[in-house]
Structure 1
Amino acid sequence: MDESTNGSGWMSPGAFHRAPDVSDWRVTGTGPQAVFTATSLAHAAELVAPIVAAAERLELLPDIDLRPEGIVVRVPYRDAAGIPAAAADFAAAVSRAAAERGLTPDPSRAQSIGIYVAEHSRADVRPFFIAALGYEPLGDTDAADPLRCGPQLAFNPITGDSPSRGRTHFDVFVPADQAEARVDAALAAGGRLADDSHAPAWWSLASPDNHGVDIAAWTDTFD
Protein backbone atom coordinates (compact mmCIF):
# COMPACT_ATOMS: atom_id res chain seq x y z
CA MET A 1 0.00 0.00 0.00
CA ASP A 2 1.07 3.57 -0.65
CA GLU A 3 1.36 5.15 2.81
CA SER A 4 1.53 8.73 1.56
CA THR A 5 -1.13 11.07 2.88
CA ASN A 6 -1.12 13.44 -0.08
CA GLY A 7 -1.98 13.12 -3.74
CA SER A 8 -2.98 9.92 -5.47
CA GLY A 9 -2.63 6.44 -4.05
CA TRP A 10 -4.22 4.27 -1.42
CA MET A 11 -3.58 3.36 2.16
CA SER A 12 -4.48 0.61 4.61
CA PRO A 13 -6.38 1.21 7.85
CA GLY A 14 -3.09 0.81 9.71
CA ALA A 15 -1.44 3.48 7.59
CA PHE A 16 -4.44 5.75 8.02
CA HIS A 17 -4.18 5.50 11.81
CA ARG A 18 -0.45 6.27 11.69
CA ALA A 19 -1.15 9.59 9.96
CA PRO A 20 -1.13 12.70 12.18
CA ASP A 21 -4.25 14.20 13.73
CA VAL A 22 -6.70 11.38 12.93
CA SER A 23 -7.32 10.18 16.49
CA ASP A 24 -11.03 11.13 16.22
CA TRP A 25 -11.49 8.61 13.39
CA ARG A 26 -11.99 4.85 13.14
CA VAL A 27 -12.11 2.53 10.12
CA THR A 28 -15.22 0.36 9.87
CA GLY A 29 -16.44 -1.96 7.13
CA THR A 30 -17.36 0.97 4.89
CA GLY A 31 -14.21 3.05 5.40
CA PRO A 32 -12.96 5.77 7.79
CA GLN A 33 -15.59 7.59 9.79
CA ALA A 34 -15.89 10.02 12.68
CA VAL A 35 -18.80 10.94 14.94
CA PHE A 36 -19.00 14.44 16.43
CA THR A 37 -21.70 15.16 18.98
CA ALA A 38 -23.52 18.50 18.99
CA THR A 39 -25.95 20.51 21.09
CA SER A 40 -28.49 20.98 18.28
CA LEU A 41 -29.10 20.39 14.60
CA ALA A 42 -27.85 23.91 13.82
CA HIS A 43 -24.69 23.28 15.84
CA ALA A 44 -23.98 20.04 13.95
CA ALA A 45 -24.68 21.76 10.62
CA GLU A 46 -21.85 24.23 11.26
CA LEU A 47 -19.43 21.49 10.23
CA VAL A 48 -20.98 20.91 6.80
CA ALA A 49 -19.31 23.81 4.98
CA PRO A 50 -15.79 22.94 6.23
CA ILE A 51 -16.34 19.31 5.26
CA VAL A 52 -17.36 20.31 1.74
CA ALA A 53 -14.40 22.69 1.43
CA ALA A 54 -11.91 20.02 2.51
CA ALA A 55 -13.52 17.44 0.24
CA GLU A 56 -13.32 19.71 -2.79
CA ARG A 57 -9.73 20.70 -2.03
CA LEU A 58 -8.64 17.05 -1.68
CA GLU A 59 -10.96 15.69 -4.40
CA LEU A 60 -12.79 13.28 -2.13
CA LEU A 61 -16.47 12.30 -2.01
CA PRO A 62 -17.42 11.89 1.66
CA ASP A 63 -20.82 11.02 3.08
CA ILE A 64 -22.37 13.30 5.72
CA ASP A 65 -25.11 12.14 8.09
CA LEU A 66 -26.56 15.18 9.89
CA ARG A 67 -28.70 14.65 12.98
CA PRO A 68 -29.78 16.77 15.97
CA GLU A 69 -27.49 14.63 18.13
CA GLY A 70 -24.46 15.31 15.96
CA ILE A 71 -22.84 14.58 12.61
CA VAL A 72 -21.28 11.44 11.15
CA VAL A 73 -18.65 11.89 8.45
CA ARG A 74 -17.50 8.96 6.33
CA VAL A 75 -15.02 8.39 3.52
CA PRO A 76 -16.77 5.43 1.89
CA TYR A 77 -14.98 2.71 -0.01
CA ARG A 78 -15.78 3.26 -3.69
CA ASP A 79 -13.65 0.39 -5.02
CA ALA A 80 -11.54 -2.42 -3.64
CA ALA A 81 -8.21 -0.58 -3.79
CA GLY A 82 -8.39 0.71 -0.24
CA ILE A 83 -8.65 4.05 1.53
CA PRO A 84 -7.76 7.07 -0.65
CA ALA A 85 -4.44 8.49 0.56
CA ALA A 86 -6.00 11.95 0.75
CA ALA A 87 -8.45 10.66 3.38
CA ALA A 88 -5.93 11.23 6.17
CA ASP A 89 -5.49 14.93 5.33
CA PHE A 90 -9.28 15.22 4.97
CA ALA A 91 -9.85 13.60 8.37
CA ALA A 92 -7.36 15.92 10.06
CA ALA A 93 -8.95 18.99 8.47
CA VAL A 94 -12.46 17.94 9.54
CA SER A 95 -11.30 17.25 13.10
CA ARG A 96 -9.69 20.69 13.33
CA ALA A 97 -12.87 22.34 12.06
CA ALA A 98 -14.98 20.35 14.54
CA ALA A 99 -12.77 21.42 17.46
CA GLU A 100 -13.00 25.05 16.41
CA ARG A 101 -16.81 24.80 16.52
CA GLY A 102 -17.05 23.01 19.84
CA LEU A 103 -18.19 19.69 18.37
CA THR A 104 -17.07 16.74 20.49
CA PRO A 105 -15.58 13.62 18.87
CA ASP A 106 -16.98 10.30 20.06
CA PRO A 107 -15.05 7.48 18.34
CA SER A 108 -16.87 4.86 20.41
CA ARG A 109 -20.01 5.48 18.34
CA ALA A 110 -18.43 4.75 14.96
CA GLN A 111 -19.76 1.56 13.39
CA SER A 112 -21.16 0.05 10.21
CA ILE A 113 -23.54 -2.87 9.72
CA GLY A 114 -23.39 -5.55 7.05
CA ILE A 115 -25.56 -8.58 6.37
CA TYR A 116 -23.84 -11.83 5.44
CA VAL A 117 -26.21 -13.84 3.24
CA ALA A 118 -25.09 -17.44 3.01
CA GLU A 119 -26.27 -19.37 -0.03
CA HIS A 120 -25.95 -22.98 -1.07
CA SER A 121 -23.14 -23.55 -3.55
CA ARG A 122 -25.51 -24.09 -6.49
CA ALA A 123 -27.62 -21.00 -5.76
CA ASP A 124 -27.10 -17.38 -6.80
CA VAL A 125 -29.38 -15.23 -4.68
CA ARG A 126 -27.63 -11.90 -5.24
CA PRO A 127 -29.80 -10.86 -8.24
CA PHE A 128 -32.94 -11.40 -6.15
CA PHE A 129 -31.72 -9.23 -3.27
CA ILE A 130 -30.45 -6.53 -5.62
CA ALA A 131 -33.86 -6.36 -7.29
CA ALA A 132 -35.90 -6.57 -4.09
CA LEU A 133 -33.87 -3.97 -2.17
CA GLY A 134 -33.04 -1.65 -5.07
CA TYR A 135 -29.32 -2.25 -4.46
CA GLU A 136 -26.39 -2.29 -6.88
CA PRO A 137 -23.66 -4.91 -7.36
CA LEU A 138 -20.48 -4.26 -5.37
CA GLY A 139 -17.51 -6.24 -6.59
CA ASP A 140 -18.05 -9.87 -7.52
CA THR A 141 -19.92 -11.06 -4.43
CA ASP A 142 -21.50 -8.10 -2.59
CA ALA A 143 -24.29 -5.57 -3.02
CA ALA A 144 -24.77 -2.05 -1.69
CA ASP A 145 -27.39 0.64 -1.32
CA PRO A 146 -26.53 3.18 -4.06
CA LEU A 147 -26.96 5.98 -1.49
CA ARG A 148 -24.99 4.03 1.14
CA CYS A 149 -27.77 4.34 3.71
CA GLY A 150 -28.68 0.69 4.13
CA PRO A 151 -26.34 -2.12 5.23
CA GLN A 152 -24.03 -3.73 2.71
CA LEU A 153 -24.78 -7.32 1.73
CA ALA A 154 -22.19 -10.06 1.24
CA PHE A 155 -23.07 -13.32 -0.51
CA ASN A 156 -20.98 -16.41 0.12
CA PRO A 157 -21.68 -20.04 -0.78
CA ILE A 158 -21.93 -22.77 1.82
CA THR A 159 -22.09 -26.51 1.38
CA GLY A 160 -24.59 -27.02 4.20
CA ASP A 161 -26.11 -25.41 7.25
CA SER A 162 -23.75 -24.68 10.12
CA PRO A 163 -24.74 -26.36 13.38
CA SER A 164 -26.64 -24.08 15.76
CA ARG A 165 -26.33 -21.05 13.44
CA GLY A 166 -28.70 -19.38 11.07
CA ARG A 167 -27.58 -19.23 7.45
CA THR A 168 -27.69 -15.43 7.39
CA HIS A 169 -26.14 -13.20 10.05
CA PHE A 170 -25.22 -9.61 10.81
CA ASP A 171 -21.68 -8.28 10.63
CA VAL A 172 -21.18 -5.38 13.06
CA PHE A 173 -17.96 -3.48 12.36
CA VAL A 174 -16.81 -1.48 15.38
CA PRO A 175 -13.60 0.29 16.42
CA ALA A 176 -10.94 -2.13 17.63
CA ASP A 177 -10.89 -0.50 21.06
CA GLN A 178 -14.65 -1.05 21.44
CA ALA A 179 -14.99 -4.63 20.20
CA GLU A 180 -14.57 -6.59 23.43
CA ALA A 181 -16.94 -4.28 25.30
CA ARG A 182 -19.55 -4.80 22.57
CA VAL A 183 -19.09 -8.57 22.79
CA ASP A 184 -19.41 -8.49 26.59
CA ALA A 185 -22.57 -6.39 26.36
CA ALA A 186 -24.17 -8.79 23.87
CA LEU A 187 -23.31 -11.79 26.05
CA ALA A 188 -24.70 -10.04 29.13
CA ALA A 189 -27.91 -9.39 27.18
CA GLY A 190 -28.49 -13.12 26.66
CA GLY A 191 -26.21 -13.90 23.73
CA ARG A 192 -24.00 -16.95 23.33
CA LEU A 193 -20.39 -17.09 22.17
CA ALA A 194 -20.40 -19.33 19.11
CA ASP A 195 -16.77 -18.98 18.05
CA ASP A 196 -13.88 -16.84 19.27
CA SER A 197 -11.12 -18.60 17.33
CA HIS A 198 -10.61 -15.50 15.14
CA ALA A 199 -10.56 -12.98 18.01
CA PRO A 200 -9.58 -10.18 18.24
CA ALA A 201 -10.32 -9.86 14.51
CA TRP A 202 -13.91 -10.94 15.09
CA TRP A 203 -16.16 -12.85 17.46
CA SER A 204 -19.15 -14.92 16.32
CA LEU A 205 -22.15 -14.64 18.64
CA ALA A 206 -25.62 -16.12 18.62
CA SER A 207 -28.79 -14.61 19.99
CA PRO A 208 -30.93 -16.62 22.44
CA ASP A 209 -32.78 -18.05 19.42
CA ASN A 210 -29.57 -18.64 17.41
CA HIS A 211 -29.52 -15.69 15.04
CA GLY A 212 -25.90 -14.95 14.26
CA VAL A 213 -23.99 -11.70 14.82
CA ASP A 214 -20.29 -11.22 14.17
CA ILE A 215 -18.61 -8.38 16.08
CA ALA A 216 -15.69 -7.42 13.84
CA ALA A 217 -12.72 -5.18 14.62
CA TRP A 218 -10.28 -6.19 11.89
CA THR A 219 -11.26 -3.37 9.53
CA ASP A 220 -9.82 -0.88 12.03
CA THR A 221 -6.41 -2.57 12.28
CA PHE A 222 -5.68 -4.25 8.94
CA ASP A 223 -2.33 -3.27 7.46
Structure 2
Amino acid sequence: MPDTALSRPEASAAVHHLGWSLILTTLRTVVSVRNVHDALTVASIATEAAGPDAGAHLSVDLRAHRVELALQTAGRAVVTARDAQIAAAVTAALTAAGFTTGSGGAPRVTQLLEIAIDTMDAAAIRPFWKAVLGYVDEGGTTDPGGGLADPTGQGPTFWFQHMDEPREQRNRIHFDISVPHDEAERRIRSALAAGGTLVSDKAAPAFWILADAQGNEICVCTWQGRD
Protein backbone atom coordinates (compact mmCIF):
# COMPACT_ATOMS: atom_id res chain seq x y z
CA MET A 1 0.00 0.00 0.00
CA PRO A 2 1.36 3.47 -0.87
CA ASP A 3 0.70 4.84 2.62
CA THR A 4 2.51 1.97 4.36
CA ALA A 5 5.34 3.24 6.54
CA LEU A 6 8.69 1.69 5.65
CA SER A 7 11.24 0.53 8.18
CA ARG A 8 14.66 2.16 7.97
CA PRO A 9 16.25 -0.83 6.18
CA GLU A 10 13.30 -1.02 3.77
CA ALA A 11 13.44 2.69 2.99
CA SER A 12 17.19 2.69 2.40
CA ALA A 13 17.10 -0.44 0.24
CA ALA A 14 14.27 0.96 -1.88
CA VAL A 15 16.17 4.06 -3.00
CA HIS A 16 19.90 3.70 -2.37
CA HIS A 17 20.59 2.35 -5.86
CA LEU A 18 18.81 5.41 -7.27
CA GLY A 19 21.24 7.85 -5.66
CA TRP A 20 18.96 8.68 -2.72
CA SER A 21 19.83 8.26 0.97
CA LEU A 22 17.77 7.82 4.10
CA ILE A 23 18.68 10.66 6.48
CA LEU A 24 16.79 10.60 9.78
CA THR A 25 13.17 10.26 8.59
CA THR A 26 13.53 11.60 5.05
CA LEU A 27 14.73 10.33 1.69
CA ARG A 28 17.20 12.82 0.26
CA THR A 29 19.30 13.33 -2.85
CA VAL A 30 21.32 16.10 -4.44
CA VAL A 31 21.46 17.03 -8.12
CA SER A 32 24.43 19.04 -9.38
CA VAL A 33 23.56 21.76 -11.89
CA ARG A 34 25.48 24.38 -13.86
CA ASN A 35 23.34 27.41 -13.13
CA VAL A 36 20.05 28.67 -11.74
CA HIS A 37 18.25 27.95 -14.99
CA ASP A 38 19.19 24.28 -14.74
CA ALA A 39 18.22 24.29 -11.07
CA LEU A 40 14.76 25.57 -11.95
CA THR A 41 14.49 22.89 -14.63
CA VAL A 42 15.38 20.17 -12.13
CA ALA A 43 12.82 21.48 -9.65
CA SER A 44 10.14 21.56 -12.34
CA ILE A 45 10.90 18.04 -13.57
CA ALA A 46 10.94 16.66 -10.03
CA THR A 47 7.65 18.31 -9.14
CA GLU A 48 5.97 17.04 -12.30
CA ALA A 49 7.30 13.51 -11.79
CA ALA A 50 6.10 13.48 -8.18
CA GLY A 51 2.53 13.76 -9.40
CA PRO A 52 -0.54 15.54 -8.03
CA ASP A 53 0.33 14.75 -4.41
CA ALA A 54 3.82 16.25 -4.66
CA GLY A 55 2.97 18.85 -2.04
CA ALA A 56 2.36 16.12 0.53
CA HIS A 57 5.75 14.51 -0.02
CA LEU A 58 8.36 16.54 -1.91
CA SER A 59 10.54 19.40 -0.66
CA VAL A 60 13.00 21.25 -2.90
CA ASP A 61 16.01 23.35 -1.85
CA LEU A 62 17.25 25.17 -4.92
CA ARG A 63 20.69 26.80 -5.19
CA ALA A 64 22.78 28.07 -8.10
CA HIS A 65 24.83 24.88 -8.44
CA ARG A 66 22.82 22.21 -6.64
CA VAL A 67 19.27 21.15 -5.99
CA GLU A 68 18.49 19.12 -2.90
CA LEU A 69 15.35 17.00 -2.98
CA ALA A 70 13.70 15.48 0.09
CA LEU A 71 10.76 13.12 0.47
CA GLN A 72 8.67 12.45 3.56
CA THR A 73 4.95 11.86 4.01
CA ALA A 74 3.50 15.08 5.40
CA GLY A 75 1.91 14.97 8.82
CA ARG A 76 3.40 11.58 9.68
CA ALA A 77 7.15 12.26 9.89
CA VAL A 78 7.83 8.88 8.27
CA VAL A 79 8.93 7.52 4.92
CA THR A 80 6.19 5.57 3.17
CA ALA A 81 6.03 3.35 0.11
CA ARG A 82 4.65 6.34 -1.78
CA ASP A 83 7.81 8.34 -1.00
CA ALA A 84 9.93 5.53 -2.43
CA GLN A 85 7.71 5.43 -5.53
CA ILE A 86 8.16 9.16 -6.03
CA ALA A 87 11.94 8.86 -5.62
CA ALA A 88 12.03 6.30 -8.42
CA ALA A 89 9.80 8.42 -10.66
CA VAL A 90 11.83 11.58 -10.03
CA THR A 91 15.13 9.82 -10.71
CA ALA A 92 13.79 8.34 -13.96
CA ALA A 93 12.51 11.71 -15.16
CA LEU A 94 15.72 13.54 -14.27
CA THR A 95 17.89 10.85 -15.86
CA ALA A 96 15.88 11.14 -19.07
CA ALA A 97 16.58 14.89 -19.04
CA GLY A 98 20.32 14.39 -18.54
CA PHE A 99 20.55 15.01 -14.80
CA THR A 100 21.86 12.64 -12.13
CA THR A 101 20.53 12.04 -8.63
CA GLY A 102 23.29 11.47 -6.10
CA SER A 103 26.41 13.21 -4.86
CA GLY A 104 28.48 12.80 -8.02
CA GLY A 105 30.11 16.14 -8.78
CA ALA A 106 28.61 17.81 -5.70
CA PRO A 107 30.82 19.49 -3.08
CA ARG A 108 29.44 17.10 -0.45
CA VAL A 109 26.77 14.47 0.06
CA THR A 110 23.32 15.30 1.37
CA GLN A 111 23.17 15.61 5.16
CA LEU A 112 21.16 17.08 8.04
CA LEU A 113 22.46 18.97 11.07
CA GLU A 114 20.80 18.85 14.49
CA ILE A 115 21.77 20.60 17.72
CA ALA A 116 21.23 18.83 21.04
CA ILE A 117 21.08 20.51 24.45
CA ASP A 118 21.76 18.43 27.55
CA THR A 119 19.32 19.23 30.32
CA MET A 120 17.75 17.80 33.45
CA ASP A 121 14.55 19.76 32.83
CA ALA A 122 13.75 20.37 29.17
CA ALA A 123 10.41 21.99 29.99
CA ALA A 124 12.21 24.73 31.91
CA ILE A 125 14.41 25.85 29.02
CA ARG A 126 12.51 24.81 25.90
CA PRO A 127 10.25 27.92 25.82
CA PHE A 128 13.35 30.14 25.79
CA TRP A 129 14.90 28.37 22.82
CA LYS A 130 11.58 28.30 20.98
CA ALA A 131 11.17 32.05 21.44
CA VAL A 132 14.74 33.17 20.74
CA LEU A 133 15.02 31.04 17.59
CA GLY A 134 11.52 31.75 16.29
CA TYR A 135 11.02 27.99 16.00
CA VAL A 136 7.89 25.83 16.24
CA ASP A 137 7.13 22.46 17.80
CA GLU A 138 8.72 19.74 15.70
CA GLY A 139 6.06 17.66 14.00
CA GLY A 140 3.37 19.47 15.99
CA THR A 141 4.46 17.71 19.19
CA THR A 142 2.82 18.62 22.49
CA ASP A 143 5.65 17.05 24.48
CA PRO A 144 7.11 19.75 26.78
CA GLY A 145 10.52 18.23 26.12
CA GLY A 146 10.02 17.69 22.39
CA GLY A 147 12.16 19.00 19.58
CA LEU A 148 11.99 22.40 17.91
CA ALA A 149 12.03 23.02 14.17
CA ASP A 150 12.58 26.00 11.90
CA PRO A 151 9.18 26.69 10.28
CA THR A 152 10.97 27.66 7.04
CA GLY A 153 12.95 24.42 6.96
CA GLN A 154 16.26 26.30 6.72
CA GLY A 155 17.79 25.98 10.19
CA PRO A 156 18.81 22.83 12.09
CA THR A 157 16.42 21.07 14.44
CA PHE A 158 17.01 21.56 18.17
CA TRP A 159 16.34 18.69 20.57
CA PHE A 160 16.80 18.13 24.29
CA GLN A 161 18.80 15.23 25.70
CA HIS A 162 17.72 14.25 29.20
CA MET A 163 20.37 14.03 31.93
CA ASP A 164 19.78 12.30 35.27
CA GLU A 165 22.41 14.40 37.03
CA PRO A 166 24.58 17.41 36.21
CA ARG A 167 27.73 16.70 34.22
CA GLU A 168 29.69 19.90 34.54
CA GLN A 169 32.82 18.38 33.00
CA ARG A 170 31.24 17.91 29.59
CA ASN A 171 29.61 20.09 26.98
CA ARG A 172 25.99 21.02 27.48
CA ILE A 173 25.41 21.49 23.75
CA HIS A 174 26.59 19.19 20.97
CA PHE A 175 25.95 18.76 17.27
CA ASP A 176 24.51 15.76 15.42
CA ILE A 177 25.41 15.44 11.75
CA SER A 178 23.34 12.79 9.97
CA VAL A 179 24.93 11.46 6.79
CA PRO A 180 24.30 8.59 4.35
CA HIS A 181 25.35 5.29 5.92
CA ASP A 182 28.07 4.76 3.31
CA GLU A 183 29.54 8.22 4.00
CA ALA A 184 30.00 7.92 7.78
CA GLU A 185 33.36 6.15 7.92
CA ARG A 186 34.91 8.46 5.33
CA ARG A 187 33.65 11.49 7.25
CA ILE A 188 35.04 10.12 10.52
CA ARG A 189 38.45 9.40 8.98
CA SER A 190 38.56 12.94 7.63
CA ALA A 191 37.66 14.43 11.02
CA LEU A 192 40.27 12.35 12.84
CA ALA A 193 42.92 13.33 10.30
CA ALA A 194 42.01 16.97 10.94
CA GLY A 195 42.91 16.69 14.62
CA GLY A 196 39.77 15.15 16.09
CA THR A 197 39.50 12.25 18.50
CA LEU A 198 37.07 9.35 18.70
CA VAL A 199 35.29 9.65 22.04
CA SER A 200 33.07 6.59 21.64
CA ASP A 201 31.93 4.11 19.01
CA LYS A 202 29.80 2.02 21.37
CA ALA A 203 26.59 3.00 19.57
CA ALA A 204 27.98 2.59 16.04
CA PRO A 205 26.69 2.42 13.38
CA ALA A 206 23.82 4.48 14.82
CA PHE A 207 26.31 7.16 15.84
CA TRP A 208 29.95 7.82 16.69
CA ILE A 209 30.96 10.55 19.16
CA LEU A 210 33.90 12.69 18.04
CA ALA A 211 35.55 15.69 19.65
CA ASP A 212 37.85 18.45 18.49
CA ALA A 213 41.17 19.23 20.16
CA GLN A 214 39.38 21.25 22.85
CA GLY A 215 36.76 18.62 23.66
CA ASN A 216 33.80 20.06 21.75
CA GLU A 217 31.67 17.13 20.66
CA ILE A 218 29.74 16.10 17.57
CA CYS A 219 27.92 12.86 16.74
CA VAL A 220 28.20 11.43 13.25
CA CYS A 221 24.87 9.63 12.76
CA THR A 222 23.31 7.18 10.30
CA TRP A 223 20.00 5.34 10.09
CA GLN A 224 21.65 2.00 10.78
CA GLY A 225 21.53 0.20 14.11
CA ARG A 226 18.29 1.85 15.20
CA ASP A 227 15.66 -0.80 14.42
TM over 0.5: yes
Q: Are 2:168 and 1:187 aligned? A: no
**Higher RCO, 1 vs 2 (CA within 8 Å, ≥6 residues apart):** 1
The answer for the alignment partner of 1:82 in structure 2 is 78
Per-residue CA distance 1:33-72 (angstroms, 9 max, x = gap): 0001112221122122222223343453321111121210
Q: Which has more strand, going by share of residues?
A: 1
Match of 2:26?
31
**1-side partners of 2:168 and 2:217: how far apart?**
11
Q: Does 1:9 align with 2:14?
A: no
Map of 1:140-219 to 2, 5 A cutoff? 140=143, 141-158=146-163, 159-161=165-167, 163=169, 165-217=170-222, 219=223
Letter matched to residue 45 of structure 1: L
Comparing 43-52 with 200-209, greater Cα deviation is found at 43-52
For the aligned residues, what is the CA RMSD?
A: 2.2
Change (3 A) 1:96 1:220: farther
Shift of 1:14: 1.5
- Deviating more after overlay: 98-107 vs 203-212: 98-107
Deviation beyond 4 Å, 4+ runs, structure 1 = 76-81, 220-223
Matching of residues 28-177 of structure 1 within 5 Å:
28-59=23-54, 60-76=56-72, 78-79=74-75, 82-107=78-103, 109-121=109-121, 124-138=124-138, 139=141, 140=143, 141-158=146-163, 159-161=165-167, 163=169, 165-177=170-182
Report deviation, 1:25.
0.4
Q: Please say if residues 91 and 100 of structure 2, whose CA atoms lie closer than 8 Å, have aligned partners that are also in contact.
A: no
TM-score (norm 1): 0.87
Determine if contact 1:13/1:221 at 8 Å carries over to the other structure: no
Contact 1:174/1:216 (8 A) holds in 2: yes
Structure 1 residues without counterparts, runs of 5 or longer: none
Q: Encode CA deviations 1:62-120: one digit per residue, 9 max, x unaligned.
A: 21111121210012464555213210111011111221222233346110000011112
Aligned pair in 2 of structure 1 residues 154, 77: CA closer, same or farther (>3 Å)?
farther
CA 41–151 in structure 1, closer or farther in 2 if over 3 Å, else same: same
Distance in 2, matches of 1:145 and 1:122, equals 18
Give the fraction of aligned pairs with identical amino acids, expressed as a percent. Answer: 30
Which moved further from structure 2: 177-186 or 34-43?
34-43
SS of alignment partner, residue 130 of structure 1? helix
Length, aligned pairs only: 216
Given that residues 17 and 23 in structure 1 are in contact (C-alpha distance below 8 angstroms), is that contact kept between their aligned partners in structure 2? no
Gap regions ≥5 residues in structure 2: none
